[in-house]
């Protein structure tokens, strides 16, 4: 899957590309407004990561929202995820109005970015893609149903969200903080108390195992969790 | 005390003193002058008597009709020289005792010494001095009264630009009202004062705007390196062969980045609220909004073994939805973070009043510093101490009256719309 990363911070762009590369994404980084404009006109992407404040070749600052309008004008259906340092509701609303699919404010967790990109791509692609296969699990996104070896697994909403999140970050170490932020949002200050995810995780693992699935969620000591799936050829 | 009142009081006091002194002096002078006049008259009579005696070698005849009462006494020898005195004598004309001015002088006649006394009634002088005094006192009194009245009105008029400027300054709020407009005045001192005030407020306003801009820009600029650090950390922990020590290092770095991120976001939020970027308010059903929040929090509270109870009335409020969201998040997070295991949280929405109470530390919090930035109960607290100051700012711009109470072991925040 092809991804255009429009982000002027080279270091951030490199991290994003490195993280997503393992997920069969091909990332094309671009660091300025003019180059980004050129690329969206000549190629199609599955998803575009778009930073709002972008330098132009003439040294001035360009507005990433202009790229959005251009895309809309050309009638392209590329998914767009805005990543902005501004975290302003106005920018968010304007971006979403101009056809962006989602908005993520900096600084973000890479697993969160991955989850959002995956969600956008799934939403954009129509047939056959509305389910995720992860090892012996099948997640039907449309109906929010998870099926294991022995059939349907009954999950709570949080457990389901957690599983989808893991499925978007297969074979990656995901920190507890990133999980908390994903499940409860950044606004709620949990005072570094991560007990709540522990309960959800324990129940999720129990349910998966009793449904005959492998216990794929591993604890990475002191760090977080990892959802491992052995890639089958 | 008002400047004008104080001035009027001093003025009045000084005027009264002047009035007294001038009245007394006047009275004294009138008396002295009139006495001198009478003494002059008496001297004239003395001269006439002496001339008469020299010319006719006989004592002058006395007329009963004369106003003056003249007497001659034979003393035989030379007596003390001429002397004036005021005495009470019987007036033939008015048939009663009166004040008289009397001169007595020695007179040599027929080889014998006589003492002559000439007395002149002071009645006329008394009337005259009284009349003069009354006129003068009245004039002074009227002058003082007029001066006071004129002072009052004139001063009020003269000081008007000063009070207007004072009013303008009182209504001036940094970053709110813009540059103040002072009244134009032709008086140099006031014009100078207004100019100085204008310069000072403009400078303050400018500095304030710069500071606000700086805070917002700094916060924005910090977001980018923060996101780079976080992304690098996310990459580091993906490495397969991380040792436990490395993991711990990464863990600490993650925690620090998270704190820094929160701190920065809080500061940015405060700057934005102060910059009026959340001015768009709308009517919101507070009850359903709180219910929605409580649903999110209940799950968290269960894992912390906190029991929550609520009682909500159907209430709508006019507020910016984003701010309301942050407000409730902060208050509810606060209630759970500062709680004790197996503690309680109570939420009550009644009329225009929302009360969020929680069990927690045994004593009340410091009322005065509670809402200030970076207030922390303990030094090594995990919080950045901005949560409540954000709550306070939101309350301020949303015209909510917020108070903290501590009673029966419950810390309560009371919000009044």
Residue A154 domain boundaries: 131-227
Note whether A90 and A16 are same-domain residues.
yes
Rg (C-alpha) for chain A, rounded Å, is: 19
Task: State how far the Cα of B59 lies from the Cα of A113, in Å rounded to an integer.
Answer: 142
Of residues B370, B302, B371, the one with CA closest to residue B336: B302
Do A106 and A177 fall into the same domain? Answer: no
Shortest CA distance from A12: residue in chain B: B228
Q: Where in chain B is the domain with CATH 3.30.450?
A: 3-142
Domain final residue, candidates A72, A96, A124: A124
Q: Which of A24-33, A42-51, B170-179 has the lowest mean pLDDT?
A: B170-179
**A143 and A94 fall within a common domain:** no
A151 burial level (CB within 10 Å; 0-12, 13-18, 19+): exposed
Q: Which of A80, A102, A124 is the last residue of a domain?
A: A124
Clarify whether residues A50 and A93 are in a common domain. yes
Which of the residues B218, B235, B236, B237 would you substitute to probe the A interface, choosing the one with the greatest number of A C-beta atoms within 10 Å?
B237
Considering the domain architecture, whether residues A116 and A136 belong to the same structural domain is answered as no
Q: How far is it, in rounded angstroms, from Cα B415 to Cα B401?
A: 6
Q: Where in chain B is the domain with CATH 1.20.58?
A: 191-274
Chain A residue nearest residue B332, CA to CA: A188
- Using the predicted structure, report yes or no on whether residue A31 has a pLDDT greater than 80: yes
In a domain, A233, yes or no: no
CATH for B282-416 (3.40.50.170, 1.20.1250.20, 3.30.565.10, 3.40.50.720): 3.30.565.10
Which of A124, A140, A168 is a domain's end point?
Answer: A124
Q: Do A186 and B244 touch (CB under 8 A)?
A: no
Residues A107, B383: C-beta atoms closer than 8 Å: no
Q: Which of B222, B231, B228 is nearest to A114 (CA)?
A: B231
Q: Whole-prediction pTM value? A: 0.66
H, E, C per residue of chain B: CCHHHHHHHHHHHHHHHHHHHHHHHHHHHHHHHHHHHHHHHHHHHHHHHHHHHHHHCCCCCCCCCCCCEEEEEECCCCCCCCEEEEEEEEECCCCEEEEEEEEEEEEEECCEEEEEEEEEECHHHHHHHHHHHHHHHHHHHHHHHHHHHHHHHHHHHHHHHHHHHHHHHHHCCCCCCCCCCCCCCCCHHHHHHHHHHHHHHHHHHHHHHHHHHHHHHHHHHHHHHHHHHHHHHHHHCCCCCCCHHHHHHHHHHHHHHHHHHHHHHHHHHHHHHHCCCCCCCEEEEHHHHHHHHHHHHHHHHHHCCCEEEEEECCCEEEECHHHHHHHHHHHHHHHHHCCCCCCEEEEEEECCEEEEEEECCCCCCCCCCCCCCCCCCCCCCCCCCCHHHHHHHHHHHCCCEEEEEEECCEEEEEEEC
d(CA B215, CA B175): 14
- Dihedral sign for Cα B46, B48, B54, B56, please: negative
Q: Which residues of A touch B382 (CB under 8 A)?
A: 191-192
Q: Which residues from chain A sit within 8 angstroms of residue B247, using beta carbons?
A: 220-223
Nearest-Cα distance to chain B for A74, in Å, is 31
Q: Chain B partners of A61 at a C-beta cutoff of 8 Å? A: none
In angstroms, how far is CA B97 from the centroid of its own chain? 63
Q: Measured between CA atoms, how close is A9 to chain B, in angstroms? A: 8
| Least Cα separation, residue B380 to chain A (angstroms) | 13
Cross-chain residue pair B229–A89, CB shorter than 8 Å: no
For residue B12, give both structure tokens. 């009045």
Residues of B in contact with A110 (CB under 8 A): 230-231, 234-235
CA dist B287 → B268, B391, B394 (Å): 29, 19, 19
Identify whether the C-beta of residue B190 lies closer than 8 Å to the C-beta of residue B224: no
A6 and A39 assigned to the same domain: yes
Q: What is the pLDDT of residues A68-113, one digit of tens each?
A: 888 888 888 788 999 987 777 777 888 888 888 999 988 889 999 9
Q: Per the CB < 8 Å rule, is B299 touching A196?
A: yes
- In this structure, the answer to whether residues A108 and A162 fall within a common structural domain is no
Write out chain A residues lying below 8 Å of B217, CB-based.
none
Decide if pLDDT at A218 tops 90. no
At the top level of CATH, which class does the domain B191-274 belong to?
mainly alpha
Chain B contact probe: residue of A88, A107, A196 with most B CBs at under 10 A: A107
From A19's Cα to the closest Cα of chain B, the distance in A is 7
Q: How far apart are CA A58 and CA B81, in angstroms?
A: 121
Judged by a CB distance cut-off of 8 A, whether residue A184 touches chain B is: yes
pLDDT at residue B417, rounded to an integer: 84
CATH of the domain at A170: 1.10.10.10
Residues of chain B within CATH 3.30.565.10 domain(s) are: 282-416
Residue (of A181, A187, A193, A191) closest to B381 by Cα position = A191
Is residue A231's pLDDT more than 70?
no
Looking at the structure, tell me whether residues A60 and A10 fall in a common domain.
yes
Residues A36 and A147 reside in one and the same domain: no
Task: List A residues 128-147 in contact with B (Cβ-Cβ < 8 A).
Answer: none
- Domain-located, residue A60: yes
Residue of B218, B219, B224 to mutate, interface with A, max A Cβ within 10 Å: B224
Q: pLDDT grade, residue A233 (50/70/90)?
A: very low
Is A92 an interface residue toward B (CB < 8 Å)?
no
Question: Measured at the alpha carbon of residue B346, what is the angle toward residues B340 and B350, in degrees to the nearest 5?
Answer: 160
A111 inside 8 A of chain B by CB:
yes
Assess if residue A232 is contained within a domain. Answer: no
Same domain (yes/no): A136, A104: no
A226 touches chain B (CB under 8 A): no
CB distance B223–A85 less than 8 Å?
Answer: yes
- Is residue A197 situated within a structural domain? yes
Q: Are A41 and A71 in contact (CB under 8 A)?
A: no
Residue A126 to chain B, least CA–CA distance (Å): 31
Could A19 and B333 be called an inter-chain contact, meaning their C-beta atoms sit closer than 8 Å? no
Q: Which residues of A touch B277 (CB under 8 A)?
A: 88
Instruction: Kindly report, residue by residue over A124-161, the tens digit of the pLDDT.
Output: 776 546 778 888 888 888 778 888 888 888 888 888 98
Q: Which residue in A has a C-alpha nearest to residue B333's C-alpha?
A: A189
Measured between CB atoms, does A126 come within 8 Å of chain B?
Answer: no
Interchain contact A76–B (C-beta under 8 A): no
Give B43: exposed, middle or buried? Use CB within 10 Å, 0-12, 13-18, 19+. middle
- Chain A residues close to B223, C-beta within 8 Å: 85, 87, 105-107
* A187 touching B (Cβ < 8 Å): yes
Residues of A in contact with B260 (CB under 8 A): none
Residue A98 lies in a domain: yes
Q: What is the mean pLDDT of each run of 10 residues along chain B (417 residues)?
A: 81 84 85 87 86 83 74 75 83 76 83 83 80 84 84 85 89 78 88 92 87 80 88 88 85 87 85 79 90 86 86 90 90 87 90 90 82 70 77 89 89 90
In a domain, A161, yes or no: yes
The count of structural domains within chain A is: 2
Instruction: Decide which of 3.30.450, 3.40.50, 1.20.1250, 3.10.450 is the CATH code for B3-142.
Output: 3.30.450
ipTM, two decimals, is 0.83
Identify all chain B residues contacting A15, using CB atoms and an 8 Å cutoff: 228, 231-232, 234-235
Q: Which residues on chain A are in Cβ contact (under 8 Å) with B299?
A: 158, 196
Question: Are A157 and A220 members of one domain?
Answer: yes
Closest CA to B397 of B318, B301, B291, B289: B318
Q: What angle do CA B225, B228, B233 make, to 5 degrees?
A: 130
Contact A183, A175 (CB under 8 A): no
């Amino acid at each position: 899957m092809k991804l255009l990363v429009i982000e002027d911070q080279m270091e951030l762009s490199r991290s994003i590309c490195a993280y997503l590369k393992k997920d069969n994404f091909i990332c094309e980084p671009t660091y300025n407004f003019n180059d980004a404009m050129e690329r969206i006109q000549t190629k199609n992407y599955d998803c575009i990561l778009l930073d709002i404040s972008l330098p132009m070749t003439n040294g001035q600052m360009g507005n990433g929202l202009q790229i959005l309008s251009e895309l809309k004008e050309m009638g392209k259906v590329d998914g767009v995820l805005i990543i902005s340092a501004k975290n302003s509701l106005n920018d968010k609303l304007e971006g979403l109005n101009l056809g962006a699919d989602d908005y993520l404010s900096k600084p973000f967790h890479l697993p969160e970015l991955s989850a959002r990109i995956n969600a956008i791509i799934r939403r954009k692609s129509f047939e056959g893609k509305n389910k995720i296969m992860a090892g012996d699990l099948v997640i039907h996104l449309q109906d929010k149903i998870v099926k294991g070896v022995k059939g349907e697994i009954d999950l709570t909403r949080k457990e389901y969200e957690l599983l989808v999140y893991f499925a978007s970050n297969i074979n990656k170490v995901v920190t507890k903080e990133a999980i908390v932020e994903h499940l409860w949002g950044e606004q709620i200050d949990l005072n570094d108390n991560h007990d709540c995810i522990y309960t959800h995780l324990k129940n999720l693992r129990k349910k998966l195992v009793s449904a005959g699935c492998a216990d794929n969620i591993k604890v990475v000591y002191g760090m977080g969790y990892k959802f491992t799936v052995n890639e089958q050829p | 005390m008002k400047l004008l009142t104080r001035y009027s009081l001093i003025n009045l006091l000084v005027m009264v003193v002047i009035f007294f002194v001038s009245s007394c002096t006047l009275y004294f002078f009138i008396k002295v002058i009139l006495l001198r006049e009478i003494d002059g008259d008496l001297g004239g009579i003395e001269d006439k008597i002496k001339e008469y005696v020299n010319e006719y070698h006989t004592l002058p005849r006395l007329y009963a009709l004369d106003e003056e009462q003249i007497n001659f006494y034979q003393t035989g020898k030379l007596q003390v020289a001429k002397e004036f005195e005021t005495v009470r004598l019987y007036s033939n004309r008015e048939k009663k005792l009166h004040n008289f001015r009397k001169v007595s002088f020695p007179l040599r006649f027929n080889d014998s010494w006589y003492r002559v006394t000439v007395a002149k009634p002071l009645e006329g002088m008394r009337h005259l001095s009284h009349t003069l005094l009354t006129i003068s006192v009245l004039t002074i009194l009227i002058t003082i009264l007029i001066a006071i009245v004129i002072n009052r009105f004139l001063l009020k008029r003269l000081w008007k630009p000063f009070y207007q400027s004072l009013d303008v300054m009182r209504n001036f709020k940094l970053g709110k009202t813009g540059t103040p407009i002072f009244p134009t005045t032709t008086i140099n001192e006031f014009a100078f004062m207004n100019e100085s005030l204008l310069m000072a407020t403009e400078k303050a306003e400018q500095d304030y705007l710069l500071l606000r801009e700086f805070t917002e820009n700094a916060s924005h600029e910090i977001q980018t390196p923060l996101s780079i650090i976080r992304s690098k950390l996310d990459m580091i922990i993906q490495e397969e062969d991380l040792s436990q020590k490395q993991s711990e290092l990464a863990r600490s770095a993650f925690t620090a980045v998270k704190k820094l991120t929160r701190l920065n976001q809080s500061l940015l939020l405060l700057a934005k609220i102060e910059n009026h970027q959340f001015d768009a308010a709308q009517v919101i059903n507070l009850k359903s909004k709180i219910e929605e929040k409580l649903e999110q929090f209940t799950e968290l509270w269960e894992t912390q073994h906190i029991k929550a109870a609520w009682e909500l009335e159907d209430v709508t409020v006019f507020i910016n939805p984003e701010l309301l969201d942050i407000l409730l998040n902060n208050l509810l997070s606060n209630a759970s973070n500062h709680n004790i295991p197996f503690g309680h949280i109570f939420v009550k929405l009644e009329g225009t009043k929302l009360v969020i109470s929680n069990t927690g530390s045994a004593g009340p919090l410091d009322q005065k510093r509670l809402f200030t930035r970076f207030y922390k109960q303990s030094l090594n607290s995990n919080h950045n101490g901005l949560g409540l100051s954000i709550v306070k700012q939101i309350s301020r711009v949303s015209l909510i009256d917020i108070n903290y109470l501590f009673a029966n072991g419950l810390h309560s925040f009371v919000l009044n719309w």
